[in-house]
Amino acid sequence: MNALILRSFLVLLLVTKPFLAWADNQILILGDSLSAAYGLKQHQGWVQLLQDTYESDKKPTILINASISGETTGGALRRLDTLLAEHKPTHVLIELGGNDGLRGFPVTRLQDNLRALISKSREAGAEVAIMKIRIPPNYGPRYTKMFEDSFEQIASETDTYLMPFFVEQVATQPELMQNDNIHPNADAQPILRDFMRKEMANWLSQAKN
């Protein structure tokens, strides 16, 4: 009887372990329209495509997409406490700043908000990465440089993992962009997925060390 119970327990453990391990990496993505599948159906966006890949590969990673079109660093900061309490992520990726720049917000405000997003996420026990963002030179070279340099500056100052701008590789190819020339189209999403799959792996590997 004891042997039968032990055997049943071992079978149950083998069946349930993959499901328990599935939540090893829970990545909260704080993004804007570039990660919110703007102009597309949700299943076409790079986030869902990457989640599908993780599931197919049985990777213990869940992507929690909290991206909103038009989101700014300030908007995300106002939502962050609720998101952290609800999802309890192990990692937070900050893909924000583009709308701050397009609206000409002060660079100091962008930097303060990035610091606060990083600090709050870490206080909740999450590893953090920020993505470097590029913007069109609408506000002149001085503002553009100050804006784009902010991401490296904050990453260095806070010892935060810095990802390269993922849209840069498709932005110069009109056939991969929507008519607004700002948002990647459906054909570009698998390219973004593959890029982010590699960058996520690099980040997760470094975060464990």
Cα–Cα distance measured from residue 152 to residue 185, given in angstroms and rounded to the nearest whole number: 28
Cα–Cα distance measured from residue 34 to residue 67, given in angstroms and rounded to the nearest whole number: 8
Distances (CA, A) of 49 to 27, 41, 53, 62, 65: 15, 11, 6, 12, 12
Taking each continuous run of H as one helix and of E as one strand, the counts in the chain are: 8, 5
Q: Which of 33, 101, 109 is nearest to 67 (CA)?
A: 33
Cα–Cα distance measured from residue 29 to residue 93, given in angstroms and rounded to the nearest whole number: 5
**Which residues carry out catalysis?**
33, 180, 183
SS3 207: helix
What DSSP letter does each residue of 104-154 carry, written as one string? T--HHHHHHHHHHHHHHHHHTT-EEEEE-----STTHHHHHHHHHHHHHHH
